[in-house]
Amino acid sequence: MRKIKLNQLSAGVIQLVNEENPLSEDIGIFDEKNDLAGVIITPDAYAYFLRKVEEDEDRIDSETLKDFNSEEELHSAPTLDDFLNDKV
């Protein structure tokens, strides 16, 4: 995450950031072509976003583990003797 001090922002942006209940009020930053260049979100929204990313990563990990066959991996894995005898 890149960091900037609040007092380095313009007064208008500071006012938007300091709104009382800004949870659903993200701040879009647009360039001269009116394309979205960045977004400022609240700490609560950021925490929510991180939780959702972690949940998705956990789901993917779980699906990967369901497809993992440890017995097959065990039998196909090189042994210590294979390494010691340069068979790997």
What does the pLDDT look like over 39-54, one tens digit per residue? 988 888 889 889 999 9
Q: Given this model, what pLDDT does residue 8 score?
A: 94
Domain count along the chain:
2
- In this structure, are 32 and 62 located in the same domain? no
- In this structure, are 31 and 51 located in the same domain? no
Band (2; pLDDT cuts 50, 70, 90): confident
Strand partners, 38: 29
d(Cα 30, Cα 23) in Å, to the nearest integer? 20
Instruction: List the domain range (segments joined by +) for residue 82.
Output: 43-88
Helix or strand or coil: residue 13? helix
> What does R_g of the chain's alpha carbons equal in angstroms?
25
- In this structure, are 23 and 49 located in the same domain? no
Q: Given this model, what pLDDT does residue 69 score?
A: 65
- In this structure, are 66 and 83 located in the same domain? yes
- In this structure, are 55 and 86 located in the same domain? yes
Strand partners, 36: 30
Rounded mean pLDDT, 20-30: 77
- CA 6-9-13 angle, to 5 degrees, is 100
- In this structure, are 48 and 37 located in the same domain? no
Note if the pTM is more than 0.85. Answer: no
Residue linked to tokens 């196909």: 76
